Chains A and B, each alone.
Chain A
């Protein structure tokens, strides 16, 4: 969990009213005015290595010990039990495709000191893969990660409402869900939900360049073309796709949250907007 004590305000202890704000409670929700006059990239993440931020890669697993990934905080594989319960067991198999390792490598490159965990939701079976995806996300949200990188989506509408609920839960629990937008004309989730940070690709070769999209639902564009990434067996490949733009934004979120752990997902998204390359960032 993030340390929000620096913020001088703890919603749990203050027993604030949930649905309304009586006059005498106004003082109790006063927030310290420590925001700079102008939010810059330097203020947001300058000097940050990601240390203290916990990132989860919800994907095909991660090859632990890859020279470009390093050690993992934890690695679990998700399955669904006979009574529909979510089972998270230690993942001894690692990455079943290479994709999760690639995402972890991108995060590690940009945020070298952040903690990385793997939650594997792919590779066991096609039938029931949607339930495993939901179970994995539910598990990850419960673990209180700061950032969950989700470079995948589902088109199955019956899962949409559950995903929506999970995304909102994450949002209110201060877990940022960074989700890959679909780059084909199909409707998929959870990237379309406003409680997540959705990511598409740009073609620049600067890994820290990211753009705010004035025409959502895709909200940000991260580096997603011709990216060199670690793959299985300690190797590297050059890859393209929104699924690789997403970990770039996840890493940037980790850098910001490591420096400003008090930020809520709402505030973080505002910082991302204000420091986006096309809004005033990179200066």
Chain B
């Protein structure tokens, strides 16, 4: 992240989606994932690189009231392995695994007996993990489901990347101590204008840029 205030980030924060809208997108992705697999729950965990922790960013189904925002060490549990190796994994009878982050699950009063997990990749980086918990017990896992999980993980990765960019832009805006807020507001206002007014607004901004010597 740049130390100096970044005008582009300020504009991005103005015209880009808000954190709330990206969170809603993540929630929608886990909701569809849960529904498609007929699972009891689904979640997206993001890696907080500073603390090396995984954070629940989106949860649907069992545990959705309590898990959101919960953190645990990124080296812990099956999600930790998926993140470190950037490899998807499917495991049944998860309770039998003493390394499963059971304390987290038990806090929510819900311990899954099966878990599908795929890494959220953006370019070379693993951003987090998409999990689908407790598929129907009678159904045997198939490669088709693995492929579907990968597709969802890919979609979730794009949403997560947008969320992280929005956060970065907003952080820059906050660090500028209000100086750039007007730029963000201006960008948002112009972006929301209808055709003709929008064209006039952009022309006005271009004239202003010319006056300021840009």
Contact = CB atoms under 8 A, between A and B. Distances in A.
Contacts of B47: 126
A28 interface: no
A68 interface: no
Contacts of B141: 225-226, 240
B15 interface: no
Interface in B74-120: 74-75, 77-78, 80-81, 83-94, 96-99, 118-119
Chain A at the B interface: mostly helix, strand, loop or mixed?
A: loop
Given A96-B75, A184-B121, A237 B143 contact: no
A192 to B, nearest CB: 14
Interface in A225-243: 225-226, 231-233, 235-243
**Is the interface on chain A under 10, 10 to 19, 20 to 34, or 35 or more residues?**
35 or more
Contacts of A98: 78, 81, 97, 99
Given A157-B124, A184-B153, A241-B90, A125 B99 contact: no
B150 interface: yes
A232 B98 contact: yes
Interface string A153-167: 111110000000000
A123 B84 CA distance: 8
B143 A155 contact: no
A203 interface: yes
A203 B143 contact: yes
A184 B118 contact: yes
Given A126-B52, A185-B150, A185-B154, A236 B96 contact: yes
B140 A99 contact: no
A249 B118 CA distance: 23
B124 A238 contact: no
Contacts of A237: 91-94, 96-97
Contacts of B88: 183-184, 241
A152 B87 CA distance: 7
A114 B108 CA distance: 44
A98 B47 CA distance: 21
A237 to B, nearest CB: 5
Nearest to A180: B87
A213 interface: no
Interface string A122-144: 11111101000000000000000
B101 to A, nearest CB: 11
A188 interface: yes
B27 to A, nearest CB: 22
Nearest to A238: B92
Given A185-B150, A186-B86, A239-B89, A225 B143 contact: yes
Contacts of B90: 239-241
Interface of A: 60, 96-99, 122-127, 129, 151-157, 180, 182-186, 188, 201-203, 225-226, 231-233, 235-243
Given A183-B147, A184-B118, 4 more contacts: A97-B77, A129-B84, A155-B121, A241-B89
28 contacts: A96-B75, A98-B81, A99-B81, A99-B85, A122-B85, A123-B84, A126-B74, A127-B52, A152-B86, A155-B121, A180-B87, A183-B146, A183-B150, A184-B119, A184-B121, A184-B153, A185-B150, A201-B146, A226-B140, A226-B141, A235-B97, A236-B96, A237-B93, A237-B97, A239-B89, A240-B89, A241-B146, A243-B87
